[in-house]
Amino acid sequence: MHPYRTHNCAELNKDHVGETVKLSGWVHRKRDHGGVLFIDLRDTNGLTQCVVDEGSDLLAKIEKVRPESVVTVTGVVRIRPGETQNANMPTGDIELYIDAVEVQGASDVIPFQVAEDDGAGEEIRLKYRYLDLRREKMQKNIRLRNDVITSLRERMKGQGFQEFQTPILTASSPEGARDFLVPSRLNPGKFYALPQAPQQFKQLLMMSGFDKYFQIAPCFRDEDSRADRSPGEFYQLDMEMSFVTQEDVFNVIEPVMRGVFEQFADFSGENRTIPEGKFPQIPYLESMLKYGSDKPDLRNPLEIVDVTSVFARDDVEFKAFKGTIEKGGVVRAIRAPAVADQPRSFFDKLNSWAQGEGAPGLGYVKFENGEGAGPIAKFIPTAAQDELKNLCGLEDGDAVFFICNKELPAAKFAGLARNAICDALPDGHVAEREKGEFKFCWIVDFPMFEMNEETNKIDFSHNPFSMPQGGMDALENQDPLDILAWQYDIVCNGIELSSGAIRNHKPEIMERAFGMAGYDKSVLEDKFGGMLTAMKFGAPPHGGIAPGVDRIVMILADEPNIREVIVFPMNGNAEDLMMKAPSEASAEQLKELNIKLDMPKAKVKSEAA
RNA sequence: GCGGGCGUAGCUCAGCUGGUUAGAGCGCCGCCCUGUCACGGCGGAGGUCGCGAGUUCAAAUCUCGUCGCUCGCGCCA
């Protein structure tokens, strides 16, 4: 017989009754009745109840084994007595009567419970991550991650893509984030950068003639964390393809995303769906206007409308808005259907929410019996109210909220208000955020350049390697701020999964674009010389995208925090307290690397923990 | 870097406007229990109330500082 097991903890059933078997696993729960003792033995597959009673001299020994110890038990499978079978357990018809037990790894008293969710906080869960990972929920989440990655790979390979690994020790890439640097021992004073993305490598692969590339690629960015952004490192489904238009990239990625989301749609317990048909494509400017964001949550049915013209009318005397309009500001409106009968507190709460966000308030008009009502209705005469109704599609019983500011802050704040209003609606309301849906969209037509407010100069608004729409002709003949790029984002339920682009594969257009953004040719040569040279030896038109794997898994698992789907995540300060990373380097290591530390005195963290 | 929230037993938390032996549930330890499956019953141990200073006759409670965790802003296209 095998030294550890003949079966796993999920596979024994009535068919095995009478067989002598061996199981290994963790002591999940112990139920000690004095004369009879039950152990639920757990491995990654499931649970099996094991029993010992007074008829055995093992009883005293097993009583002393603490939960989470690893044991090997040998015994005969027997049917559970009639009433005691457990229909909730896959192995609930049978039990193993223990004839022999070996403790493979005893457990100390555990710092938090594994067999149940005792609400233990993140700090302690991460410190003892291996215990946390034994818990059912984490086992499921991490297995989901495996399944999603497998699914993504198969779907990409099914479309003819090949997976290649690109370097981890490399040079700075143009993603715009802070780099992680690694000192080079063989090249004193020089540093590698960890890739923020395999951007240049995948483009070089296209220039190398490999048509369709993908990779589950680790990416490194030294930026602060968020709930949906793990510090330091994350994974992308990085892909690139040659001889393609933007539409071709969409046609590859949409079935991958739809496929993987449909495959795991019921993971969280509710059966979620994706609307039929192609993902909607929303131009960037339209998205900023209608949703106040370039990553709109389309489950929220509320939309934003520009109503500057109403408040600019001579017969409207709302001075607070008029002053802002005269300075070039805009007024944005959000129609909230069927809320006129909401209590005063509904509007007051939204108003104080707005004030909490730093706005003067959230003005509104509600329409009942054909008449406008509310604090600012009196400033808007009937004719102007009619224009407002037309613009916003207002009906009796609706209310409309107003945001007035300069264009960009007005758009962004309207976007926040759009969500705040939706969330404030009572359950079951017609405009409630849809549940059980994955609503995807593409945001397209990003501007190529933007005005840097601080320097008042033109800068790239996104990836400088994107192809401008209209190519060289556009760069030469259009107002730079009007030039659009073949640049796109994919968004699901208000979460940005990825950006992508059709790349600029023509060196002369690249030089021109960088020149317009104020970069001298020498900068381009210096930072991206390798790729620029490669472009001069026959570069195919190409483009790609790189959806975030962690975020996909997070949405599918319905977790609010990305650390719940990462095996060994760092904490918010980019520390791994279990591995004690980062840690100080020894004097020998530093000397070998020709590095001397120059620490700011006040900021040295004390070693006492 | 900035702002909000939190910090009390191994874990999760209660402790109102300051008041004398700081509580609960789970866990842990001991005893009892032959059919449980979140087993049950009885008993027990366990706390410099994050740390430091201040106010006060008196501080878990109020004030200031500091450290840690977390969420958000900046940043990350």
Which helix or strand (DSSP H or E) is residue A549 part of? helix A549-557
Say which nucleotide is closest to residue A570, CA to C1' distance: B69
A270 C-beta neighbours (distance < 10 Å), count: 11
> Is the C-beta of residue A357 closer than 7 Å to nucleic acid chain B?
no
Query: Are A107 and A67 spatial neighbours (Cβ–Cβ below 8 Å)?
Result: yes
Torsion of CA A538, A539, A540, A541, to 10 degrees: -140
Alpha-carbon span A378 to A371, nearest angstrom: 10
pTM greater than 0.90 (yes/no) = yes
pLDDT at residue A607 in the model: 35
Distance from CA(A112) to C1'(B26), angstroms, rounded: 10
Residue A420 tokens, joined:
């705040």
Distance from CA(A602) to C1'(B55), angstroms, rounded: 30
pLDDT at residue A174 in the model: 66
Strand B proximal residues, A:140-159, Cβ < 7 Å: none
Distance from CA(A113) to C1'(B25), angstroms, rounded: 14
**Dihedrals phi, psi of A159, to nearest 5 degrees:** -100, 15
> Is the C-beta of residue A60 closer than 7 Å to nucleic acid chain B?
no
Query: What sign for the dihedral angle of Cα A29, A31, A32, A38?
Result: negative
Alpha-carbon span A233 to A19, nearest angstrom: 49
Torsion of CA A256, A259, A263, A264, to 10 degrees: 60
Which helix or strand (DSSP H or E) is residue A247 part of? helix A246-263
Chain B, protein-covered positions (CB within 7 A): 1, 10-13, 25-29, 32-40, 67-77
> Is the C-beta of residue A35 closer than 7 Å to nucleic acid chain B?
yes
Distance from CA(A550) to C1'(B31), angstroms, rounded: 51
Alpha-carbon span A596 to A315, nearest angstrom: 71
Whole-Å CA distances, A258 to A188, A237, A355, A472: 49, 14, 40, 36
Identify each DSSP E strand in A505-593 by its residue range.
542-545
> Tens digits of per-residue pLDDT, A443-460?
999 999 988 777 778 888
pLDDT at residue A453 in the model: 72
> Is the C-beta of residue A238 closer than 7 Å to nucleic acid chain B?
no
3-state secondary structure (DSSP) of residue A264: coil
Distance from CA(A608) to C1'(B6), angstroms, rounded: 22
Count of alpha carbons within 13 Å of A438, Cβ hemisphere only? 32
> Is the C-beta of residue A119 closer than 7 Å to nucleic acid chain B?
yes
Distance from CA(A117) to C1'(B25), angstroms, rounded: 14
Count of alpha carbons within 13 Å of A463, Cβ hemisphere only? 26
Strand B proximal residues, A:170-199, Cβ < 7 Å: 175-178, 196
* DSSP 8-state secondary structure symbol assigned to residue A368: E
| Rounded average pLDDT per 10-residue block, chain A, 609 residues | 96 96 98 95 97 93 96 97 92 97 96 93 94 96 98 98 96 82 95 94 96 97 93 96 98 97 93 95 95 93 94 90 90 94 88 80 90 90 93 94 90 91 89 92 94 80 90 95 95 94 95 89 85 94 97 95 95 88 91 89 41
Alpha-carbon span A463 to A294, nearest angstrom: 15
Termini Cα distance of chain A: 49
Query: Are A544 and A238 spatial neighbours (Cβ–Cβ below 8 Å)?
Result: yes
Alpha-carbon span A460 to A447, nearest angstrom: 9
> Is the C-beta of residue A487 closer than 7 Å to nucleic acid chain B?
yes
Identify each DSSP E strand in A428-481 by its residue range.
440-444, 449-452, 457-460
Distance from CA(A31) to C1'(B41), angstroms, rounded: 14
* DSSP 8-state secondary structure symbol assigned to residue A234: E
**Dihedrals phi, psi of A273, to nearest 5 degrees:** -130, 160
Query: Are A5 and A71 spatial neighbours (Cβ–Cβ below 8 Å)?
Result: no
Query: What sign for the dihedral angle of Cα A33, A38, A42, A46?
Result: negative
Strand B proximal residues, A:243-302, Cβ < 7 Å: none
**Dihedrals phi, psi of A377, to nearest 5 degrees:** -60, -35
